[in-house]
């Protein structure tokens, strides 16, 4: 295949570009599977050896995305007169590849390979540190990760705050300046609402979820529930990991994980619904996009809008449990013998400051995110050091949520994200809540029978709406284009504030 | 990386060669994992989509193995004066890469693609023919496969019999002239022994394995047994597939599968021990060989020697069950209530001519292989025609085993191997038995307490002997070098003949 592109017809250029894009996309699909395997299947001793093989393939793929061939093709296909003649799909692929190319071109391949090997090993160290409640095992890896992230930010370049370079990786175009007022509005309202909730005399029962729920029965219930949400079991898997996640291999192979805690039946149920939300997004992308650069969700924030919409807006609604509580009681007749539907509903919507982000309620969750946002911003600005993180973490927990984690395992070591270098990732979760609320008021407008659809257990109808509006497009539209296209307005915090106010007024009789 | 190698120092050449070798080896490791995932984990809808991604990576790797860069490097590093200066490991890698290069390079790409398409279609035709018991559906495809195999043999070149070109694919250096007398000796002795066995009044019980054994209890027993054999569970996995296999990813990640049949408890036990034999070979290769072309077993025959040694020589021995029968009875107290240890031991060593190779006992198994060997040899020499295979097959079954398959499905259509072009593969199975017996008498010489080691359940000590003598070397030695090095003599049939005579004299009181 020739690197000389100038003399070719547009048709020939497109053919060459689409072939190169396909090769990269195929390798990305493979790398997705390898990442899943590492977390779910690989035996202990093989992981660090295999990290080298993953490093080799990542590096090869990285080289393709920043190759001279890719550069020349993108240059030609981005010229306005040429670009205008392209079909819409190719145009979107060019846009996505160009974004990758521009970001990555400046990172030397050896540095990138070093980063891949580092993060693979950091994942192993994180797991051990977490298990042993010993931050010092993880610290040197995290220090290197932060140092390399800073180095990358300087190389790639940014305007304003260095953290902007990272935010843009997860939500194209997002900046500290945009995020700060959205979070400020949400934070102010959340704390005000939290105070009213804590003062309410109508507190939910707290004893329900401190009981033991047999893990095998939990597995049975989750396997019963998953397909009823609209997740296609012939095009996916459900496995177990310490930290649940969703991984797409292609639109016919989407793998989600959950975890079962015998003393916390909620954890697996809402974890499964959450990951199913991610998974259904990936399963319902236009299958023609397989093997192209626009397969998969368009941003982390939009992805989280899907997981959170299904987990919280649908899964924690009164109507959802009007339908499914009977099934749950069938699985746990003894454990739930003395629990009425209304008590169960209010208990799963209980608001209480807690240590673990993934176990947090819908309201305080965003406060966990803001804590991480502040820490990441400060790390990138060099205002704090990695070695001080356990202390900083605990101080901020006290400040935002009024509680202090008794161990680092319940504190700074709880999340996997930093171990794979994912600084800038956390804000996506709260963005997801913001998008989800905005979509919620839109779907209620277009589907007035929304509540009864849930109550009848017809969740796949809601999935179909999301497929039509969001899923099918993959990365064809940018997140900014998509939210305006679907809801008619840009992202704002009004809907989430409204949603939280309405929901908790009902639950807590405020 | 430059393709110009002539002007470089040997040191620089070696560095370039080792880097290229590592890249190919890493991708091979990944392709191994992907193949495992396809058979064990991938959801239905994703498989055909993902086949395209696997195809892309396989093609890229094939291109690297036959690249101009590889060709130039091998040419330089194979020059006697240069080769003499190389370290022993690099020398072995050069030998292995050159073997691949010479074999792959000579087949024109179009011809190879034609063969791939043909074998894909042949696989479908074979499955249909087998299901419908109609050889004529498969015949035209098999005719083309044989014709193309002959064509490849002519292109690649061979000395003596054209079948030698195929044998060499699976057992480097093996020829018809070597194999024919070995098999002749083994066949004569096996048939003679079979006649005596069938005439013996001391026949084993046949009712034990037509009982139902709970599958969950079978799983528990296999998971109990596997680590006791010396298979490292921190460096491997045990999963389930319809067709059991072992797949190495690296020396710290070796994945084996088994299958559980409720009406055949033997199937899983001996299947697991067999695959554990393959798996322990891969786990115990020198870990420094990871990421090089000499990681993994040195030939199909030596690999089979390990699986068969553990399955039959160890796993079907009286001493093995002296140790483990109590454990087995604990798992199946009701099913085995009326079965004494001696009855069990003799039942798992029952000899009976049967139609299906994979279900055959240790003695008659080799007769199934010789039948296939004779047919493949004659096909390659043009002495018989594909259309006559059902007739030839049944005649040979009668001649060797004294039975005639009632249908072609139970005869010539039973094996998948020819449909993917794998002529030359079958002899590996009996080579495995020949090697295993030769190793058996050597280990008994060097470890006089061999029987009591098994009886004490110290199977890992036997694994350690194999590690020291065979496993650690990977492909560093060729199979021919290895067997002489370990046993002091070239492969011969005397030991297997002796082993079978001794074993069945005891079991059948001959």
DSSP state string for A322-375: HHHHHHHHHH-TTTTTT--HHHHHHHHT-----S-GGG--TTTHHHHHHHHHHH
- Are residues A145 and A218 located together in one domain of the fold? no
Q: Are strands A236-240 and B253-258 parallel, antiparallel or unpaired?
A: unpaired
Task: Tell me how close the Cα of B227 comes to any Cα of chain A, in angstroms.
Answer: 14
**A1 domain-assigned:** no
d(CA B463, CA B254): 15
Residues near A342 by beta carbon (within 8 Å), at least 6 away in sequence: none
- Are residues A267 and A414 located together in one domain of the fold? yes
- Residue B251 in tokens: 């020396």
Q: Do B34 and A29 touch (CB under 8 A)?
A: no
Question: A300 by DSSP, 3-state: which?
Answer: helix
Average pLDDT, chain A: 95
Question: B-chain residues within 8 Å CB-CB of A27?
Answer: 53, 56-57
Chosen domain end from A159, A184, A207 = A159
CA dihedral A175, A177, A180, A182 (to 10 degrees): -80
- Are residues A297 and A341 located together in one domain of the fold? yes
**A165 domain-assigned:** no
Question: A-chain residues within 8 Å CB-CB of B33?
Answer: 34, 37, 50
Q: How many CB pairs under 8 A join A and B?
A: 127
B47 shares contact with chain A (CB less than 8 Å): yes
Q: Calculate the alpha carbon distances from A96 to A91, A93, A101 in Å.
A: 9, 5, 9
Out of B33, B46, B233, the one facing A250 most closely (by C-beta) is: B46
Out of A27, A49, A234, the one facing B44 most closely (by C-beta) is: A234
Q: Do A234 and B43 touch (CB under 8 A)?
A: yes
CB B18 within 8 A of CB B69: no
- The values of phi and psi at residue B51, to 5°, are -55, -35
Q: Compute CA B376 distance to the chain's CA centroid, rounded to the nearest angstrom.
A: 18
CB B439 within 8 A of CB B487: yes
Give the pLDDT confidence score for residue A107 in this predicted structure: 85
- Are residues A401 and A367 located together in one domain of the fold? yes
Question: A-chain residues within 8 Å CB-CB of B26?
Answer: 52-53, 56-57
Residue A465 has pLDDT above 50, yes or no: yes
Q: Do A56 and B26 touch (CB under 8 A)?
A: yes
First to last CA, chain A: 68
A295 shares contact with chain B (CB less than 8 Å): no
CB B371 within 8 A of CB B396: yes
Look up tokens 């079948």; give the residue. Answer: B163
Question: B-chain residues within 8 Å CB-CB of A43?
Answer: 233-237, 252-253
**Chain B residue with the nearest C-alpha to that of A46:** B252
- Residue A77 in tokens: 């296909």
For residue A247, list its beta bridge partners: A255
Q: What is the pLDDT of residues A468-477, one digit of tens each?
A: 999 999 999 9
Q: What is the pLDDT of residues A326-336, one digit of tens each?
A: 999 999 999 99
**B87 domain-assigned:** yes
Q: Do B43 and A252 touch (CB under 8 A)?
A: yes
Question: A-chain residues within 8 Å CB-CB of B48?
Answer: 252
**A142 domain-assigned:** yes
Q: Which residues of chain B have pLDDT under 50?
A: 1-3
- Are residues A438 and A316 located together in one domain of the fold? yes
Please tell me chain A's helix, strand, coil percentages from 3-state DSSP, rounded to the nearest 5.
65, 5, 30
- The values of phi and psi at residue A237, to 5°, are -140, 160
Chosen domain end from A159, A184, A200 = A159
Would you please indicate which residues of B are annotated as catalytic (active-site) residues?
Answer: 275
Question: B465 by DSSP, 3-state: which?
Answer: helix
Q: Do B33 and A29 touch (CB under 8 A)?
A: no
Give the pLDDT confidence score for residue A2 in this predicted structure: 44
Confidence of residue A4 (pLDDT cuts 50, 70, 90): low
**Chain B residue with the nearest C-alpha to that of A26:** B53
Confidence of residue A1 (pLDDT cuts 50, 70, 90): very low
Out of A29, A56, A235, the one facing B23 most closely (by C-beta) is: A56
Closest by CA position to A109, among listed B41, B1, B246: B1
Q: How many residues does chain B have?
A: 510
Q: Do A60 and B287 touch (CB under 8 A)?
A: no
Interface of B with A in 50-69 (CB under 8 A): 50, 52-54, 56-57, 60
**A186 domain-assigned:** yes
CATH number, domain of A446, equals 1.10.1370.30
Give the pLDDT confidence score for residue A264 in this predicted structure: 87
- Are residues A138 and A201 located together in one domain of the fold? no
- Are residues A279 and A312 located together in one domain of the fold? yes
Mean per-residue pLDDT, A130-154: 97
Residue A275 has pLDDT above 90, yes or no: yes
- Are residues A240 and A379 located together in one domain of the fold? yes
Out of B50, B236, B251, the one facing A253 most closely (by C-beta) is: B50
Question: A-chain residues within 8 Å CB-CB of B42?
Answer: 249, 253
- Residue B344 in tokens: 């069990």
A48 shares contact with chain B (CB less than 8 Å): yes
- Are residues A196 and A229 located together in one domain of the fold? yes
Query: Which residue pairs from B323-331 have beta carbons closer than 8 angstroms and sit at least 24 positions apart in sequence?
Result: B323/B454, B323/B455, B323/B456, B323/B457, B324/B225, B324/B228, B324/B457, B327/B221, B327/B224, B327/B225, B328/B221, B331/B217, B331/B218, B331/B220, B331/B221, B331/B224
**A242 domain-assigned:** yes
Give the pLDDT confidence score for residue A106 in this predicted structure: 82
Chosen domain end from A132, A159, A186 = A159
Out of B22, B43, B236, the one facing A253 most closely (by C-beta) is: B43
B251 shares contact with chain A (CB less than 8 Å): yes
Residue A373 has pLDDT above 60, yes or no: yes
**Chain B residue with the nearest C-alpha to that of A237:** B43
Give the pLDDT confidence score for residue B6 in this predicted structure: 59
Helices (H), B41-162: 44-65, 68-78, 80-83, 88-106, 109-132, 135-156
Task: Tell me how close the Cα of B24 comes to any Cα of chain A, in angstroms.
Answer: 10
- Are residues A146 and A188 located together in one domain of the fold? no
Q: Calculate the alpha carbon distances from B306 to B45, B297, B469 in Å.
A: 36, 10, 12
DSSP state string for B470-484: TGGGTTSS-HHHHHH
**B101 domain-assigned:** yes
Residues near B1 by beta carbon (within 8 Å), at least 6 away in sequence: B16, B19, B20, B69
- Residue A161 in tokens: 């705050």
Q: A44-65 and A109-132 are packed helices; what angle lies between their axes, rounded to 10 degrees?
A: 150
Mean per-residue pLDDT, A109-125: 90
Give the pLDDT confidence score for residue A5 in this predicted structure: 62
CATH number, domain of A38, equals 1.20.58
B234 shares contact with chain A (CB less than 8 Å): yes
B469 shares contact with chain A (CB less than 8 Å): no
**B232 domain-assigned:** no
How many domains, chain A? 2
Q: What range does the domain containing B20 cover?
A: 10-106
- Are residues A150 and A180 located together in one domain of the fold? no
CA dihedral B420, B422, B426, B427 (to 10 degrees): 180
Out of B23, B34, B253, the one facing A46 most closely (by C-beta) is: B253
d(CA B202, CA A58): 63
Q: Do A46 and B291 touch (CB under 8 A)?
A: no
- Residue B202 in tokens: 């001391």
Query: Which residue pairs from B59-65 have beta carbons closer than 8 angstroms and sit at least 24 positions apart in sequence?
Result: B60/A23, B60/B27, B61/B24, B61/B27, B61/B28, B61/B31, B62/B104, B64/B20, B64/B23, B64/B24, B64/B27, B65/B24, B65/B97, B65/B100, B65/B101, B65/B104
Question: A129 by DSSP, 3-state: which?
Answer: helix
């Amino acid at each position: 295949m020739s690197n000389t592109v100038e003399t070719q017809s547009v048709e020939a250029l497109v053919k060459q570009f689409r072939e190169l894009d396909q090769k990269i996309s195929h390798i990305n699909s493979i790398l997705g599977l390898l990442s899943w395997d590492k977390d779910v299947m690989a035996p202990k001793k093989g992981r660090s050896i295999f990290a080298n093989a993953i490093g080799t393939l990542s590096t090869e793929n990285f080289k393709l995305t920043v190759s001279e061939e890719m550069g020349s093709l993108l240059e030609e296909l981005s010229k306005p007169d040429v670009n205008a003649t392209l079909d819409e799909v190719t145009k979107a692929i060019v846009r996505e590849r160009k974004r990758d190319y521009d970001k990555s071109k400046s990172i030397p391949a050896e540095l990138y390979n070093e980063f891949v090997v580092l993060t693979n090993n950091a994942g192993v160290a994180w797991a051990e540190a977490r298990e042993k409640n010993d931050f010092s095992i993880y610290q040197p890896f995290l220090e290197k990760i932060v140092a390399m992230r800073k180095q990358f930010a300087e190389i790639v370049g940014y305007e304003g705050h260095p953290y902007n370079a990272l935010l843009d990786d997860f939500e194209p175009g997002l900046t500290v300046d945009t995020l700060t007022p959205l979070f400020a509005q949400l934070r102010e309202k959340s704390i005000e609402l939290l105070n009213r909730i804590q003062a309410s005399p109508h507190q939910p029962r707290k004893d329900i979820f401190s009981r033991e729920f047999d893990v095998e029965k939990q597995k049975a219930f989750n396997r019963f529930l998953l397909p009823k949400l609209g997740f296609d079991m012939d095009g996916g898997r459900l496995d177990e990991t310490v930290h649940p996640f969703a991984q797409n291999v292609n639109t016919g192979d989407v793998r989600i994980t959950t975890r079962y805690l015998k003393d916390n039946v909620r954890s697996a149920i809402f974890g499964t619904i959450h990951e199913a939300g991610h998974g259904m997004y990936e399963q319902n992308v236009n299958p023609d996009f397989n093997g192209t650069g626009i397969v998969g969700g368009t941003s982390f924030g939009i992805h989280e809008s899907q997981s959170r919409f299904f987990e919280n807006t649908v899964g924690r609604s009164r109507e959802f449990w009007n339908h499914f509580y009977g099934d749950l009681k069938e699985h746990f007749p003894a454990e739930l013998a003395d629990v009425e539907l209304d008590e169960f509903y209010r208990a799963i919507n209980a608001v209480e400051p807690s240590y673990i982000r993934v176990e947090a309620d819908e309201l305080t969750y965003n406060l966990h995110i803001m804590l991480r946002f502040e820490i990441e911003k400060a790390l990138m600005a060099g205002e704090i050091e990695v070695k001080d993180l356990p202390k900083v973490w605990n101080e901020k927990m006290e400040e935002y949520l009024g509680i202090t984690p008794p161990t680092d395992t319940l504190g700074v070591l709880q999340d996997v994200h930093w171990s794979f270098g994912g600084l800038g990732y956390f804000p996506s979760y709260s963005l997801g809540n913001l998008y989800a609320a905005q979509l919620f008021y839109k779907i209620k407008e277009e589907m007035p029978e929304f509540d009864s659809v849930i109550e009848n257990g017809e969740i796949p109808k809601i999935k179909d709406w999301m497929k039509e509006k969001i899923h099918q497009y993959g990365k064809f539209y940018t997140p900014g284009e998509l939210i305006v296209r679907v809801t008619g307005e840009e992202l704002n915090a009004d809907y989430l504030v409204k949603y939280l106010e309405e929901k908790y007024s009902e639950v807590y009789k405020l």
